[in-house]
Structure 1
Amino acid sequence: MSVDRRSVLRSTARLAALSAAGGFAAACGSSAGNTDPAEPSMAARSQPSHLAESAAPSPTAVPSAAPSPTAFALPPLAANTPQEVVTGPRTRSQLALTFHGQGDPAIAEALLKTAEQHGARLTVLVVGSWLDQQPQMAQRILAGGHELGNHTQNHLDISSMRPQQAHDEIAQCAERLQRLTGSIGRWFRPSAAQYANAMVKEQARQVGYQHVLSFDVDPHDYADPGADAVTQRVLKSAAAGSVVALHMGHPGTVQALPAILDGLTAKGLHAVTASELCA
């Protein structure tokens, strides 16, 4: 049976056009409407080099295939959001309670439930090695309406590292977030430092983090001063726009959280995610 050469050529052209359109749609995806660049897929960036001097070998406990990511949309940030956020707007009755994500998962679960019972949304900056041990916590945090960010892979003194070491610390945690949730998250917080130096900011930017999340209220709950002390320190210093630094793995922090949330309500303040605070 003869084949019409012109028909074949027309069909081939149509298939090529459809293929190109599909690739363009996949590349542009869900970034429309966000004032920040879209959070890039880790597969689209070069992988970090493996350093022989790394303080800890790359863990292997991360599942090879992620569960279906929890769908969540980050609100666009205000156009004037700085590269390093220390506080949010002082004009709204909101603040952000941010948590170092590590420690006993039962303590983390209790803390999340308490926040949810009070209608509060938290921002959890996770340590990548914790996700290797407790991968289910990534989805649990998002399922409660909270936000996830990056707090490095091993929680070492990132400010003292060479650029490639710092890059790897950030990128390894980002890979785990991408694998477990479908996103690297919006925020990076340096480990063992309140503020990011210029080198750390640049390495975070190269991994895909346009913003570093610092804080203006630190009750030093990691020193376990007791629930009453943590509560008093937070309520004394927290104000509209504050970013409070707290830690998940400490029982005193969980015990303090109900009184903190009640006290914030009495002050007319409500805990929202860092992205909501800066939107």
Structure 2
Amino acid sequence: MIRFPLFVVTLLLVFLAFISAQDTAATPPAPLHNAGVTEKITFSEVNVDGPYIAMTFDDGPHATNTAKLLDMAAKRHIKLTFFVLGECVAQNPAVLQREVAEEHEIGNHSWSHPNLAKLSDEAVRSQLRRTEDLIFKTAGVKPTLMRPPYGELTRRQRIWVNHDFDYKVILWDVDPLDWKRPGPSVVASRIIAGARPGSIILSHDIHPPTIEAMPQVFDALLAKGFKFVTVSELLAMNKGGERPEVVNHPEVQPSPQHQLTPPTLTLPATSPSKSPASAVSPNDQD
């Protein structure tokens, strides 16, 4: 029987392992469009029976503007959806707690409002994870929705974000361009004219003129017979029929399970009547 020196056997094993790794690396991943299971994960509107709409507000919470908006919603018994920035939650935790206590929905709008489509996957993951963790720590809820700043997120990003965070990606079909500050009457008229059953309406609760427009918006849409629901409630009414997206692409693997830290809550009893206005974020578009 031939016996080889130990170092020869070791070198042979290392060589074989190297060749195997090269073969694996040379195998291209399956193309995105050939993946199997599909699901709708991005929504600009929802196909519903009935006059249901979702009013959504981005870039808060704001210390005074959001509180005024919550007062208006409470008076009319309507529910809203807030896509919040992590840095604003850090500044105004009590406002987020009030949003949750009054049964509005919270979505993830990133930490600092960058264009996510221009960031690395790890940077996008950090923007979303930091915000999700702070939302949970502050108010005890985990978002199931996200809205990318400026509406910018690539198809591949949408798929892995859905894998990693189990988020639906929410865009909009009515945009009053309130970030351009056209004035309350223009904001109101654009929303009222554009709303239709299943609409997801975009606004920003950091702009005072937008808040001034909301009583007219709410009252006019209620008078037209529209019913305000959260985005998740609107999605639950979905009749389907939309073009699905691939969600089990082999290139997109979920990250390890992330554990959220339980919150310590101190919920405000009522809205603060007066509080110092926080600085408006410069990242106020969409």
- TM-score (normalizing by structure 2): 0.66
User: 1:109 aligned to 2:67?
Assistant: yes
Of 166, 176, 191, 1:234 maps to 191
**Equivalent in the alignment of 2:209:** 252
CA contact (8 A) 1:163 1:199 kept: no
Q: CA deviation at 1:167?
A: 1.2
5+ long unaligned stretches in structure 2: 1-37, 237-286
Helix, strand or coil: the match of 1:149? strand
Structure 1 Cα separation of the partners of residues 217 and 79 of structure 2: 14
TM-aligned CA distance change 1:199 to 1:171, over 3 Å: farther
Q: Kindly provide the amino acid, as one letter, of the partner of residue 131 in structure 1.
A: V
Give the equivalent residue in structure 2 for 1:190.
148
Residue by residue over 1:237-271, the C-alpha shift from the partner in whole angstroms, topping out at 9 and shown as x without a partner, is: 11010000100111111111111011111221011
In structure 2, the partner of 1:222 is 179
Find the aligned partners of 1:261 and 1:208 in 2 and give their Cα distance: 32
Q: Distance in 2 between matches of 1:204 and 1:131?
A: 21
Q: Secondary structure at the match of 2:149?
A: coil
Contact 1:170 1:204 in 2 (8 A): no
State whether structure 2 residue 111 is matched by structure 1 residue 145. Answer: no
Given that 1:96 and 1:277 are in contact with CA atoms closer than 8 Å, whether structure 2 keeps it comes out as: yes
Q: Relative contact order, CA 8 A, sep 6+: which one is greater?
A: 2
1:94 to 40, 47, 52: 52
CA distance 1:96–1:249, shift in 2 (3 Å): same
Larger radius of gyration, structure 1 or 2? 2
Distance 2:51 2:225 in 1: 6
Counterpart residue identity of residue 187, structure 1: L
Distance (Å, rounded) in 2 between the aligned partners of 1:95 and 1:187: 16
Q: Number of matched residues?
A: 199
Alignment partner for residue 119 of structure 1, among 57, 77, 82?
A: 77
Give the TM-score taking structure 1 as reference length.
0.68
Aligned equivalents of 1:116 and 1:278: distance in 2?
23
Distance in 1 (CA, whole Å) between partners of 2:186 and 2:212 is 11
User: What amino acid sits opposite 1:263 in the alignment?
Assistant: A
- Name the CA shift for 1:81/1:269 in 2 (closer, same or farther; >3 Å): farther
RMSD: 1.7
Separation in structure 2 between the aligned mates of residue 277 and residue 81 of structure 1, nearest angstrom: 17
- Secondary structure in 1 matching 2:210: helix
The one-letter amino acid of 1:271's match is F
Whether 2:89 is the aligned partner of 1:131: answer yes
% same residue? 27
SS of 1:218's equivalent in the other structure is: coil
Deviations 1:96-116 (A, max 9, x none): 000004264111100111011
